[in-house]
Amino acid sequence: MSMRTDVVVIGGGQSGLAAGYHLRRLGVDSVILDAQATPGGAWQHAWDSLRLFSPAAYSSLPGRLMPPQSGQTYPDAAHVVEYLADYEKRYELPVRRGVRVSAVHRDGAFLRVGTDCGDWRARAVISATGTWTRPFLPAVPGRREYTGRQLHTVEYESPAAFAGQRVIVVGGGNSGAQIAADLAGHADLTWVTRRPPRYLADDIDGRALFDAATARRRALDEGRADTGGVASLGDIVAVPPVRAARDAGLLHARPMFSRLTAAGAEWADGTRSVADAVIWCTGFRPALAHFAALRLRGARGRIATDGTRAVDEPRLHLIGYGDWTGPASATLIGVGRPARDAAREVAALLG
Ligand code: FAD
């Protein structure tokens, strides 16, 4: 026996909630299935010192401004979790927690959504499963030989666990810079990046990034030259802790090592560093394994989309994974618009 609804939203983080908000406004019958037991999506697992790169008001989902966090311009992850929990309650969003979607199949006029708590039959699906559950580690020679501790961004919590240790942080993006800054002064830090770190100007935060992402999408939509978007501005937002560590001379990046050895890392010129731990801040991939049976996946594990709609399965929409599902779709302020577009298209499809 399967349960019936018009739309299943898979994932109850910020993207799934934004979709739920718009579906509800349009009067579409839906359910939001989320694997976790409690609200907040990936923000529940952020490291202790993580701060948003935008002020609260610029980190808001549709309909409700994020309230400021007292004493903080850039709120912490716990504040985001609180905001998301309040958001779903306020709008009475139909979230079912502790439900993991394992596979989606075509079933005539329906999509059958298989979960560990039974099947759902829906006329459309919006996928909002994020990337946090799919950490990416590059294939580096010697990774299996190395005997120290290896962890990914998703497992990092605080510098306390690394006090006095020799730690290599890999990655020149925001996670790498923030975790390197977090460890600087507590651990014997080696920070390695594939290219020299590219800091955004100190006065650029998430507001400017959102504007750049929107301008790029508009230029592409109108057939104008690619503005380069956010990537043209730099890789690392100089949030206060990163700026402080950089200005104190604690953040020196070395080029990427060529291999790991049993004891640490070795560079192409033969120099070596012994390390107790290597922290891979090397990004994520979209969590889309549940669509394997639909055979939609293309390059880099992505599904080809036109706006938010899957090109080869018009009953499926994707939001939140990155710019390929809408400008700044993987941010709090940016997901509102793709969520609205997806909800409207789904409502039109349902007639
Ligand atoms: P998630 O928050 O990951 O939520 C997805 C939900 O789907 C989760 O609850 C998950 O358990 C569930 N799920 C996954 N698979 C399944 C399944 N098969 N079945 C059922 N449920 C499933 N954005 C900003 O706007 N400002 C910032 O300052 C900012 N800083 C960031 C810092 C870091 C380190 C990272 C990684 C991202 C940051 N982002 C920031 C980007 C973005 O806001 C977050 O990645 C956000 O968590 C994405 O939300 P989401 O809802 O798309 O995915």
**208 pLDDT exceeds 80?**
no
Q: How confident is the model at residue 114 (pLDDT cuts 50, 70, 90)?
A: very high
Domain coordinates of the chain in residue numbers?
Answer: 2-133+284-350, 149-199+235-280
Flag the least confident range among 143-152, 215-224, 287-296, 311-320: 215-224
Closest CA to 329 of 127, 90, 179: 127
Q: What is the structure's pLDDT at 330?
A: 93
Q: What is the structure's pLDDT at 204?
A: 73
Q: What is the CATH number of domain 2-133+284-350?
A: 3.50.50.60
Any atom of ligand 1 within 6 Å of the Cβ of 93: no
Identify any residues that bridge with 149 across adjacent strands, giving them in sequence order: 277
Any atom of ligand 1 within 6 Å of the Cβ of 33: yes
The verdict on pTM exceeding 0.85 is: yes
**232 pLDDT exceeds 80?**
no
Tokens of 156: 């990092």
Percent of the chain whose predicted confidence (pLDDT) is above 70 = 96
Place of tokens 């014997």: 188
Q: How confident is the model at residue 230 (pLDDT cuts 50, 70, 90)?
A: low
Q: Whose CA is nearest to atom 49 of ligand 1?
A: 14
21 phi and psi angles, rounded to 5 deg: -60, -50
Sheet holding 101-107, edge to edge: 2-4, 118-122, 110-115, 101-107
266/217: higher pLDDT: 266
Closest CA to 149 of 238, 243, 277, 271: 277
Any atom of ligand 1 within 6 Å of the Cβ of 101: yes
Q: Are 2-133+284-350 and 149-199+235-280 equal in CATH topology?
A: yes
Q: What is the structure's pLDDT at 241?
A: 92
Tokens of 286: 């979209």
* Overall CATH class of domain 149-199+235-280: alpha beta
**164 pLDDT exceeds 90?**
yes
Q: Whose CA is nearest to atom 8 of ligand 1?
A: 41
**25 pLDDT exceeds 90?**
yes
**251 pLDDT exceeds 80?**
yes
Amino acid at 6: D
Tokens of 4: 């019936």
Q: How confident is the model at residue 212 (pLDDT cuts 50, 70, 90)?
A: confident
Any atom of ligand 1 within 6 Å of the Cβ of 171: no
Average pLDDT over residues 33-52: 96
Q: 208-228 burial string, b = 16+ CB within 10 Å, else e?
A: bbbebbbbbbeeeeeeeeeee
Pocket test of ligand 1: the residue of 83, 331, 333 to mutate, having most ligand atoms within 8 Å of its CB, is: 331
